């Protein structure tokens, strides 16, 4: 197996494709969760909570909440990571703005939204992480701890997600809160299972 020093570097086209696919997955996942009245962890979850309270577009709230984390990303993970993360966030904001017109959902089973929505969010986050990008927020801290300390990004994400989802009780009912926890766990399981030291050698 190739070592980290000999692994093939991703091309620009591969990076662009990954950011487009990852952002699209996350936008669809957020659409499913919002249609079912659920939340998830991370900045995405915070954006959904604020959106429920203010009725602002999720994409706009997502972008605004991430502003402080761009500074953290630049100081800890470098300009390239920060630039990719900012590009991802702008793309997500645009996708979230257009999604209500492109994908109109009249009914979504909450259990399906929790499991599938959380999983597709996790796949989107994973695609971004493997191409040195993120959705910002807790993901920046999680990736930094993974790169520097070898601490599982999924475990860091899951711990923070539990706190964020718990805060959602202010805006959603108990049954939806429990399903939101399922969504956050589904997201974190994808990261825990697939984002481990030595598991993926591309960069």
Answer for the pair 22, 89: CB distance below 8 angstroms, yes or no.
Answer: no
pLDDT of residue 25: 94
Average pLDDT over residues 162-168: 82
- Could you report the per-residue pLDDT of 168-177, keeping only the tens digit for each? 888 888 899 8
The highest-confidence range among 59-68, 90-99, 107-116, by mean pLDDT, is 107-116
Question: Looking at residue 64, what is its pLDDT?
Answer: 85
From the list 184, 48, 33, 45, the residue with the least C-alpha distance to 109 is 33
Region of residue 187 (phi > 0: left; psi between -120 and 50: alpha; otherwise: beta): alpha
Q: Tell me, what's the pLDDT at 119? A: 94
């Amino acid at each position: 197996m190739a070592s980290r020093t000999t692994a093939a570097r991703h091309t620009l086209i591969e990076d662009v494709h990954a950011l487009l696919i990852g952002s699209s997955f996350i936008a669809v996942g957020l659409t499913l969760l919002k249609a079912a009245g659920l939340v998830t962890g991370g900045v995405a979850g915070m954006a959904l909570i604020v959106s429920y309270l203010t009725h602002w577009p999720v994409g706009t709230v997502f972008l605004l909440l991430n502003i402080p984390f761009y500074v953290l990303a630049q100081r800890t993970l470098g300009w390239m990571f920060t630039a990719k993360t900012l590009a991802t966030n702008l793309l997500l904001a645009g996708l979230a703005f257009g999604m209500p017109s492109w994908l109109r959902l009249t009914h979504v089973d909450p259990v399906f939204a929790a499991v599938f929505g959380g999983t597709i969010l996790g796949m989107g986050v994973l695609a971004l992480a493997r191409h040195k990008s993120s959705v910002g927020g807790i993901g920046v801290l999680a990736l930094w701890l993974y790169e520097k300390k070898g601490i599982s990004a999924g475990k860091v994400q899951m711990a923070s997600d539990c706190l964020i989802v718990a805060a959602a009780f202010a805006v959603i009912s108990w049954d939806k809160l429990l399903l939101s926890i399922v969504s956050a766990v589904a997201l974190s399981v994808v990261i825990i299972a697939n984002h481990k030291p030595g598991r993926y050698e591309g960069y």
